[in-house]
Amino acid sequence: MIFIILDYAPHDLELLNLIFIIKVSHSKIKLKYKICMSFNEKTLYDFENVTKFRKEVINPIFPNADFKSSFMVSSPDEPATSFKGELSTNNLFKETDYEYKGDGRFLHYTSLFGIKAILETGFLRMSEFGNLIDKKELQYGARVFEDNSIFQFDKDELEKLKNNLFCLSACESNEFTKRDGFMWEVYADKGKGVLLEFELTKKNPKKFLLGKVQYGDNSLQPLKIIKAHAEQFVKDNEGFFPNNFLQLFMEIQSFHKAERYKVEQEVRLFLKVEKEAHENHTLESIYKDINSNQEVKYFNQLYLKGRHPYLNFKYPFSDEEDEVFNEFPQIEIKNIILGYNISVENKVDLAYFLCNLKKEHKYDFKISQICDEGIIKEMYPPCNLPD
């Protein structure tokens, strides 16, 4: 008989017993339980190999990394030779160069049409990786593993996985990034757009990963060290190895870009949602839309404070607001800065337009402007519209 093992607590012997009991028929449960007890030691050894892989391959670079789950196939006579693993996003980047240590306030550049859509619909949207400007996203980090067949590098397969990965690109809010001429030119309609300053109402939603993007070949060193450790591990452990290696490290590979993008200094909010290539996404916040290249792509909604649909009634899985934010994060807009290439007359009209949207949807944000000299001032007078 082949036993399928799903491991969430690899050192919990009682959980292992329970897993085996569930897999056998009720009529033979006592007999099978005794069989299970007789080879728990071997089964635990299989799980210890998974833990050993984490400690020897992953933890030297990512000391707080742990498995969210691991899956393997084993039997009384045949030990497991591989496993399928998934890393937990919880503290994955802690104590590494990827870790974001800021105050939780971010910047997002967009056009006037973009801010109008955001305020009217009530959400910012995360783009699937296939919709990002850099078409080498994901491939740039994964190419470290392409010269050894044990990693099962497949460029086409990685491309297919891009619509399972979503990100919101932002910058850390500080006095320099607010005045970054390159970012205004490229991402805010050449200074005719706006800069959105925002916070997440829950700083580290559990199903998401927040971190700093790493740039250039030198930044690939952590992946190269993992590669070397993995190659040594498979030699030392009779071929025991994850059968989904590239997918296992998907989160880490997703935070690498080429050197030429370094000026962006991106802080990225990342989400991975599992589905088969032929399936559609079922998460309620994911939808399809047309992008600027006339392509149909997936997007994930990040709801604005006051417009969150799942806070208006009891969430079906939990009535705790905190749990809702783990799966459906909430954005709070703090300031909208009008670009330096918008005329004074148009800034006044735009300020009143934004004030009307602010009042209609009960938002709470400031409206500011930036001039050619980089001086940022709040628009005066502030929104005091008659009822």
Separation of alpha carbons 200 and 209, rounded Å:
13
User: How many Å separate Cα 248 from the centre of its chain?
Assistant: 14
Has residue 25 got a pLDDT over 80? no
Residues 311-340 have pLDDT tens digits of: 755 444 445 777 888 888 999 999 999 999
60 prior amide bond cis, ω within 30: no
Give the pLDDT score at 345: 95
Note the pLDDT of residue 26.
36
Task: Please report, for residues 110, 199, 226, 339, the alpha-carbon distance to residue 193 in angstroms, rounded to integers and kept in the order given.
Answer: 6, 20, 42, 5
* Chain segment 139-157, per-residue pLDDT in tens: 999 999 999 999 998 999 8
User: Which are the contacts of 171, defined by CB distance < 8 A and separation ≥ 6?
Assistant: 106, 107, 108, 109, 177, 180, 183, 264, 265, 266, 267
Q: How far is CA 257 from the centre of its chain?
A: 15
> For a pLDDT cut of 70, what percent of the chain falls above it?
84
User: Which among 343, 383, 333, 291 has a CA at the least distance from the CA of 118?
Assistant: 333
Residues 6+ apart with CB under 8 A from 39: 76
The pLDDT mean for the chain works out to: 86
| Better-predicted residue by pLDDT, 221 or 280 | 221
- Amino acid, single-letter form, for residue 109: Y
pLDDT of 33 above 60: no
Backbone phi, then psi, for 332, in 5-degree steps?
Answer: -115, 115
End-to-end Cα, the chain, rounded Å: 73
Alpha-carbon dihedral of residues 55, 57, 63, 67, nearest 10 degrees? -70
For 286-309, write each residue's pLDDT tens digit. 999 998 889 999 999 999 998 988
Check: CB of residue 350 under 8 Å from CB of residue 357.
no
Q: What is the pTM of this model?
A: 0.86
- With 0-12 / 13-18 / 19 or more C-beta atoms within 10 angstroms meaning exposed / middle / buried, residue 231 is middle
Whether the pLDDT of residue 207 is over 50: the answer is: yes
pLDDT tens per residue, range 218-233: 999 999 999 999 999 9
Cα–Cα distance for residue pair 373/368, rounded to 1 Å: 15
Angle formed at CA 273 by CA 167 and CA 84, multiple of 5 degrees: 120
Would you place residue 34 in the very low, low, confident or very high pLDDT band (cuts 50, 70, 90)? Answer: very low
pLDDT given at position 27: 36
Average pLDDT over every residue of 85-101: 96
Do 141 and 180 meet the contact criterion of CB atoms below 8 Å apart?
no
Q: Is the pLDDT of residue 73 over 70?
A: yes
Is the CA virtual torsion 99, 214, 269, 356 positive or negative? positive
Angle at CA of residue 92, ends 80 and 280, nearest 5°? 75
